[in-house]
Chains A and B, each alone.
Chain A
């Protein structure tokens, strides 16, 4: 773990990182409430505990870079700056949602921000990332694609096929593995013969690295910057494995019987938001008042999002038939 706050990051940007993580946290805590009230349906996969990964990685991207992710996508979407109210409206199934109410929690899209979707078939997002990166390289653009995936995805054929293609064709894609220890209730060691996942990249001749403390946004950023520089220099893909933990169940339906509270506790101490807040305090970069202001501001934003979601109309019945084809 980096013991120092990275002082090369301007103070305003540090506060932005903190705000972004807090926004994700509150957005999800409140969406869990509205799930319980029946305003949100389907599956709701919370990202709580993993915020430093999305925020750390995405804060280093350019506007012309693209993001492809899986169904646990709220954190990536908000970190990318998708409209908070439109994200909440999507969860409520409203016409004003980021996907017009057709996608729901697992399928957020905002192509205007290079957010090429949450994808709900495990591993299914990876070939898409390869294709987007192929287009970048073909057109001579130096923008890149970040492909988020979970530790469970590495056992799908699409994982290996995509890694090989990206490497064979030297494509500008950053495979960003969020290793939260579990695929639903199955531990990594029980699912992968090679539990040190980033080593799988060796087999495909892809440079890789592991970040041991993905709860530390500075560690995440340091490793991500190295990867991004490598890719932009035209060296082909990079594979980053970031160790993190999902504080909640796999989805709201998870009875959580496969893990013990005593193994969860140490991770809860590594709450990424608390870690960053403490560091900002210690280094005198943020006063308690400033943090309170951020909290109040985030609360307002999430309240406004919920109001917007509640007040927005459902899609009209005609919408059933739109966009089946272009």
Chain B
């Protein structure tokens, strides 16, 4: 099995999509001449030409909406929004058009569109450029939201997103691009709506997604040394959510901590906890807890920013608290 970085895995997915369908185009800000602001599409313009690798003006509402329109017309476009922060300017098109066209037309329209974007903090980019907004989109029926945490899932989920007839928000994390791991050689997919057991364990389930998955895995390492066996569940998709895998894990471990990078209040962790309470209450030996981002706009200053994002140590601490009684 080859070792690929997260960035390379996404590139493989993009190249497969371009090869598979001549009506697949990539459009977004600086995807061409600049090579993509995270260098994911570097060299594509030279290779595929400007008919298919399209540098758009800085017009998020316009070009995301145009991607939706092209998809409704039957093309299979891939739209890149440079970061999820800028998706706010396109939110109307995503929420009011992409998510509703199928339903509101009584099933006459489909929107086979992949929207790639980048989420997360930790880069000292301050409040407007450090947000994790994927959970907002994961509240909207009609779109799907996937959040790969490693190279193999990045490719497998990308393939599924391209094969899906619905609009899929494919959310990457800026701090994962350089991470490297094995990616299977054979053709495989990761179905949308399937969580994975990233690490098996018996004493507690730590449920995470995107960059919080590696954080949860580090926490599990710390805990192992203390004799606590933590299972790590990587959600991989937020919408649809694979609650089966979560419930199954909690039924075995009887304890759970949910980890989320961004604001705790009203967050995705709350949804996961509600589902556990509804469906696995009887197997719980302790309340389900969460570790999430601090409810403030992200500050620039490094020492302050570091306080806003969950760490492995904080996750381990929260898990320990479940065993003290």
Contacts and interface: CB of A to CB of B under 8 A. Distances in A.
Interface stretch (A151-159, A202-210, A235-243, A269-277): A151-159
B294 A320 contact: yes
Interface string A181-196: 0011111001110000
Contacts of A43: 125, 129
Contacts of A321: 296
Given A184-B37, A320-B296, A104 B126 contact: yes
Given A152-B58, A258-B33, A120 B129 contact: yes
A294 interface: no
Given A103-B300, A186-B30, A257-B34, A317 B126 contact: no
A156 B125 contact: no
B304 interface: yes
B279 to A, nearest CB: 35
A176 interface: no
B172 to A, nearest CB: 17
Contact of A314 (B33, B59, B85, B301): B301
A93 interface: yes
A314 B305 CA distance: 11
B85 to A, nearest CB: 7
Contact of B89 (A90, A93, A156): A156
Nearest to B298: A102
A19 interface: no
A308 B125 CA distance: 22
Interface string A293-312: 00000000000000000000
Contacts of A156: 58-60, 89
Contact of B124 (A93, A157, A184, A187): A93
Contacts of A191: 55-58
Nearest to B302: A93
Interface residues of B, number: 38
Contacts of A234: none
Contact of B126 (A103, A157, A320): A103
B35 to A, nearest CB: 6
Contact of B30 (A42, A103, A120, A185): A185
B300 A42 contact: yes
Contacts of B55: 185-186, 190-191
Contact of B304 (A121, A153, A155, A317): A317
Interface in B51-92: 55-62, 85-86, 88-89
Interface string B116-150: 00000001111111000000000000000000000
Contacts of A257: 33-35
B304 A320 contact: yes
Interface string B17-49: 000000000000110111101000000000000
B307 interface: yes
Given A41-B124, A324-B297, A183 B35 contact: no
Nearest to B43: A257
A172 interface: no
B187 interface: no
B106 interface: no
Nearest to B129: A120
Interface in A134-187: 152-153, 155-158, 183-187
B34 A186 contact: yes
A319 B294 CA distance: 13
B2 interface: no
Contacts of A153: 58
Contacts of A56: none
B296 A157 contact: no
B34 A155 contact: no
Given A42-B300, A184-B29, A315-B303, 12 more contacts: A104-B124, A121-B88, A123-B58, A156-B59, A156-B89, A183-B58, A184-B30, A184-B34, A257-B34, A257-B35, A258-B33, A314-B304
Interface of A: 41-43, 90, 93-95, 99, 101-104, 106-107, 119-124, 152-153, 155-158, 183-187, 190-192, 254-255, 257-258, 314-315, 317, 319-321, 324
